A and B are shown apart, each in its own frame.
Chain A
């Protein structure tokens, strides 16, 4: 939708380790703090935090836990929040299949990844079977 020629720079960041379900609520709260700090609207905050909630569940359920990097990012005149989910789990054999609406290996509804992608402005997934999965999402303040 939007082409961004300028490079994105990080102004603030932190890493949070996620090993159990109880780590999820504090993570959501931290992402909210970052979203508030860039002045994101309630709607965009809600979308970003919901996307975070979906992805951190995958990280726990399929990746066996991992770490999450939260960043305040600036691109030209746009501010936003970027959240990166990194696990060393089994990885996804067919990423394009996992991105299809309705596909799921777990017992969920299969709207995880494609649904999550619709909530954010940038969505990048890299996975290597046996090595792990990294998902990076960015929500711009005015995105």
Chain B
């Protein structure tokens, strides 16, 4: 069965989706990620979707699920690299991905995850600015 690789980087997990998603692949990723968070007691998950050209309601829902589930497992999820056309399409479709934290690229996503880890007690005071 085809699977998306999950890489461990210290306290974080890195997932780079290089293929177009279909339902089963997205569902496998969801369960694999949650199991891997448990296995390594990971504190953060970075999902790079810069190579994904299509996200429909099902895959969008999976991304949202991953964010919520990882939070329950005490890990933060950041989605990075969404293509502009995908973002526009998702919002018009009616799926604004509320609850999913995103950053423009992997580097900013890593910064965001680190800052979230070290400032986990004063979350409210921290504001990430990606408009720079």
Using a CB–CB cutoff of 8 Å, the interface residues on chain A facing chain B are 21-22, 24-25, 28, 42-43, 45-47, 49-50, 53-54, 57, 101, 108-109, 111-112, 114-116, 118-119
A46 to B92, alpha carbons, bound, how many Å? 12
Q: Does A112 contact B57, Cβ atoms closer than 8 Å?
A: yes
Q: Does B94 contact A42, Cβ atoms closer than 8 Å?
A: no
Given the complex, which residues of B lie within 8 Å of A21, measured CB to CB? Answer: 22-24
Can you show 13 pairs from A to B with CB atoms below 8 A apart? A21-B24, A24-B22, A28-B54, A43-B89, A46-B85, A50-B54, A53-B54, A53-B56, A101-B94, A108-B61, A109-B57, A109-B61, A119-B89
Residue total for B at the interface (Cβ-Cβ under 8 A)? 21
- The closest CB in chain B to the CB of A60 belongs to B23
Q: Is B88 an interface residue (CB 8 A)?
A: yes
Q: Does A47 contact B56, Cβ atoms closer than 8 Å?
A: no
Q: Is B55 an interface residue (CB 8 A)?
A: yes
Q: Does B56 contact A50, Cβ atoms closer than 8 Å?
A: yes
Complex interface bits, B77-92 against A, C-beta within 8 A gives 1, otherwise 0: 0000001111011001
